[in-house]
Each structure stands twice: as structure tokens, then as C-alpha cells.
Structure 1
Amino acid sequence: MIERDKLIEPEKVACEVCFKEIPISEASSVKATDYIMYYCGLECYDKWKKQQEESTEKPN
């Protein structure tokens, strides 16, 4: 009799922008000072980066 291996669910992380749960092996990441932020793709990363740039701009 052949014993079947248990299927192991891949470790998942939440996208920093849309909070979609994605396998860590497919996530894009950016290392910050004390932590790592994960993104489901370049679209979410670009959206986050744009928000950060807008929040750091000073009004004239």
C-alpha cells in the first residue's frame, strides 16, 4: 500500500496595498528598516510608492 504525503499549504502573506493573501514564493518584497513589506505585483507596489511620494511632498 502506498502512503500519500500530506499536502502542505504554502506560507502566505498579505499585500501591503490591497491585502490580498498570496503565497510568499510569489510575492514581491521591499526591505524596509525593521521589516519587509510584500506586494502581490508591480501594480500594487507602484500604487504604494506613489502614495508615499505624495505624503512626503510639502505644499508650497
Structure 2
Amino acid sequence: MIEQKKIIEPEKVACEVCFKEIPLSEATSVKATDYIVYYCGLECYDQWRKQKDPKEPPVPADKD
């Protein structure tokens, strides 16, 4: 009898910005104050960082 090996799915996490599910081993993580957040890539991390800590002043709306 041939022994079958079980295929184990990798643990997945959701990207904090786009909610795309990615393997934990591929995720970029950042320790926040009380939790760890995961990102699918640098673009999502940069977008999250800009939302949390905006250093640029807001762009004024056009006055038409």
C-alpha cells in the first residue's frame, strides 16, 4: 500500500490595506503598539503608513 502525504496549506493572513490573502511566510509585517499588521507588499505598506501618519499637508480643493 502506498502511503499518501497530506498537503498542508500554508497559514494565510489578510493584507491590512487591500485585504488580499497571502501566505504568512510571504507577508511583510510591522509591529504596531498592541498588534502586528501584515502587508502584501511595499505599496500597501506605504499607503497604510501615509494614512496613519500623514506628514504632508492636505492638498487644498480647487475653488471653481
What is the TM-score of this pair, normalised by structure 1? 0.83
Structure (1 or 2) with the larger CA radius of gyration: 2
Pairwise CA RMSD? 1.6
Aligned length: 56
Instruction: Report matched runs for 1:8-47 at 5 Å.
Output: 8-47=8-47
- Read off the aligned partner of 1:38 and give its amino acid letter: Y
* Residues 1-57 of structure 1: CA deviation (Å, up to 9, x unaligned): 321211001000000000000000000000112110000000000010111123xx7
**Structure 2 regions of 5+ residues with no counterpart?**
58-64
Query: Whose helix fraction is larger, Structure 1's or Structure 2's?
Result: 1
TM-score normalised over the length of structure 2: 0.79
Q: Structure 1 segments of 4 or more deviating over 6 A?
A: none
Structure 1 counterpart SS, 2:53: helix
